Amino acid sequence: MDTIFDKIISKTIPAKIVLETPRLLAFHDINPQAPVHILVIPKKKAVSMDELREWDDATVGQFFKGIAEVARSVGLNENGYRVVLNTNLHGCQSVNYVHAHILGGHQLSGSFA
SS3 category, 35: coil
**Distance between CA atoms of 4 and 25, rounded to whole angstroms?**
13
Q: Return the residue of 6, 29, 50, 69 that touches ligand 5GP, per CB under 6 A.
A: 29
Q: Which stretch binds ligand 5GP (CB under 6 A): 21-29, 43-51, 75-83, 103-111?
A: 21-29
Does residue 3 bind ligand 5GP (CB under 6 A)?
no
> For this structure, is 99 an active site residue?
yes
Q: Which stretch binds ligand 5GP (CB under 6 A): 26-34, 44-52, 63-71, 103-111?
A: 26-34
